[in-house]
Amino acid sequence: MKPIDILILSNGPGEVTTWVRPVVKALRDILGHDRSQVRISVILSICPHATGQEAAIASRYSEVDRVQSSEHFFTFLLWGKTAENWDWRKQGIVLFLGGDQFFPLILGKRLGYRTIIYAEWEARWYRAIDHFAVMNASVIDSIPPSYQDKFTVVGDLMANVAPIATSSQDLVNSPIIALLPGSKPGKLTQGVPLCLAIAQAVHQQKPQTRFILAVAPTLDLTTLANFADPQKNPFVRKLGGIRGKLVITTPNTGKSSYLETPDGLQVELITEFPAYERLRHCCLALTSAGANTAELAALGLPMIILLPIQQLDAMRTWDGIPGILSNLPLIGTSLSKVINTIIIKQGRLYAWPNIWAKEEIVPELLGELQADEVAQLVLDWLNNPVKLDNIRDRLSQVRGQPGAALKIAKIVERQLSFLNS
């Protein structure tokens, strides 16, 4: 095989962590680790939900050789030049894992590479793209029969984790609850104080309950702790008034750093990523909406989706045009109030397992949430593990089939064979 380049196009934090990470690992498993033969580059495009840390995260993947951050994307798209003036091999693949499906079409033509798109819900430009890896067969339904041989059903990239095997009854005997308040300020501002207040209320009635908080890889602990400080985040007072003080431990203690409430509750901070092994020991999770709900569903972990709107202009993390308008300078605050009012009235579903099932199989709590009321729901689940098992069964029914990353890597391998034929 002649030396080839694989150019991966991606964009936001969810795509980089839940799509790119398993795919590059599978690519190396299939194609090998000889960088003189197979070079993997990741180029990020603009995303309204980006944290600015996506390039740093992708750079930590040992399977990846080169990463370019999103601020340089349009220069590359328009003129074909990267910020570091990368060279490109004569043969290669453009693999789309997030962004606009038009991008691989343009870049594939410019570089003379074959193109592959991973499509969850919709496949565009199917006349010009070489192959599509799709999440399920419904994506193919609207495609003309003459083009359907370009499509392979691979399953859900977010389902690449093994589900929890332990019964709910065993887990609630020494309950551990996971807190996933999000990664962006728009969610953390309300999510961190609300999660701490709920944890405190549950702990008061079930002192044996432990809590872990999965820290997003784009966050440092000090920044996270600021959202639990009432002097730096006014929503702490509006959402239960429970302050969390950051306690940094040293490696020789064998104990993770934690947030400590005035009543002595310690919420362990989990910085390993992904935190699947720790989440597998949890009986339930309190989480914001987002890609994490798909990962929790893949684990079979019952969850409660927290969508607090204590202040209508605080939530500015919606997808697409609403998210862009909400974050415009000067007028974003006013627009966010209008947008949030409209979205609340729509009654839409936000958690991925609910979207897949087209019904609410895990509760989505949207409104001016009160910590004590959410805590009662948590306690009801802890006292009735059969309810947890019922939710786990439903999650197992809607979760995507695992193995998508390996199937995509095999599609890449097949497309590469066309280059050498």
Q: How many structural domains comprise the chain?
A: 2
User: Which helix (H) or strand (E) segment is 307 a member of?
Assistant: strand 303-308
Do residues 102 and 122 touch, judged by C-beta distance below 8 A? Answer: no
391 and 414 in a single domain? The answer is no
235 and 327 in a single domain? The answer is yes
Sequence-distant (≥ 6) Cβ neighbours of residue 28 within 8 angstroms: 40, 63
Q: Name the nearest CA neighbour of 129 among 139, 266, 138.
A: 139
CA angle 124, 134, 116 (to 5 degrees): 65
123 and 176 in a single domain? The answer is no
217 and 137 in a single domain? The answer is no
Q: Can you tell me whether residue 355 is helix, strand or coil? A: helix
User: Which helix (H) or strand (E) segment is 416 a member of?
Assistant: helix 404-420
Tokens of 395: 């999650």
- Residue matched to tokens 């799509």: 19
Do residues 118 and 96 touch, judged by C-beta distance below 8 A? Answer: yes
Host domain of residue 121: 4-160+402-420
CA distance 105 to 115: 7
CA distance 122 to 363: 27
CA distance 224 to 235: 14
- Reported as a single tens digit per residue, the pLDDT across 68-77 is 999 999 999 9
N residues, the chain = 421
72 and 187 in a single domain? The answer is no
SS (H, E, C) 39-103: EEEEEECCCCCCCCCHHHHHHCCCCCCEEECHHHHHHHHHHCCCCCCCCCCCEEEEEECCCCCHH
317 and 408 in a single domain? The answer is no
Position 312 scores a pLDDT of 46
Position 177 scores a pLDDT of 97
390 and 410 in a single domain? The answer is no
Position 138 scores a pLDDT of 84
Strands 258-260 and 245-247: antiparallel
For every residue of 144-204, DSSP letters joined together read -GGGGGGEEE---GGG-SPPP-S-HHHHHHS-EEEEE--SSHHHHHHHHHHHHHHHHHHHH
CA distance 45 to 383: 46
Helix axes 404-420, 21-31, angle to 10 degrees: 50
152 and 275 in a single domain? The answer is no
143 and 14 in a single domain? The answer is yes
Q: Can you tell me whether residue 373 is helix, strand or coil? A: helix
- Reported as a single tens digit per residue, the pLDDT across 2-40 is 899 999 999 887 788 889 999 999 999 999 999 999 999
Do residues 113 and 5 touch, judged by C-beta distance below 8 A? Answer: yes
123 and 256 in a single domain? The answer is no
CA distance 381 to 387: 6
CA 77: distance to chain centroid?
Answer: 26
Position 313 scores a pLDDT of 46
CATH number of the domain at 106, please.
3.40.50.2000
Backbone angles phi, psi at 357, to 5 degrees: -80, -15
147 and 34 in a single domain? The answer is yes
27 and 126 in a single domain? The answer is yes
CA 421: distance to chain centroid?
Answer: 38
| 274 upstream amide cis, omega within 30 of 0 | yes
Q: What's the predicted TM-score (pTM) here?
A: 0.74
| Per-residue tens of pLDDT for the chain, all 421 residues | 789 999 999 988 778 888 999 999 999 999 999 999 999 999 999 886 677 788 988 999 999 999 999 999 999 999 989 999 999 999 999 999 998 999 999 999 999 999 999 998 889 999 999 999 998 888 898 899 999 999 999 988 877 666 777 778 888 889 999 999 988 888 899 999 999 999 999 999 999 999 999 998 878 999 999 999 999 999 999 999 999 999 999 877 778 999 999 999 999 999 987 788 899 999 999 999 887 888 898 889 999 999 987 554 445 455 544 455 455 565 555 555 565 666 556 667 888 889 888 899 999 998 889 999 999 999 999 999 999 999 999 998 887 677 899 999 999 999 998 886 6
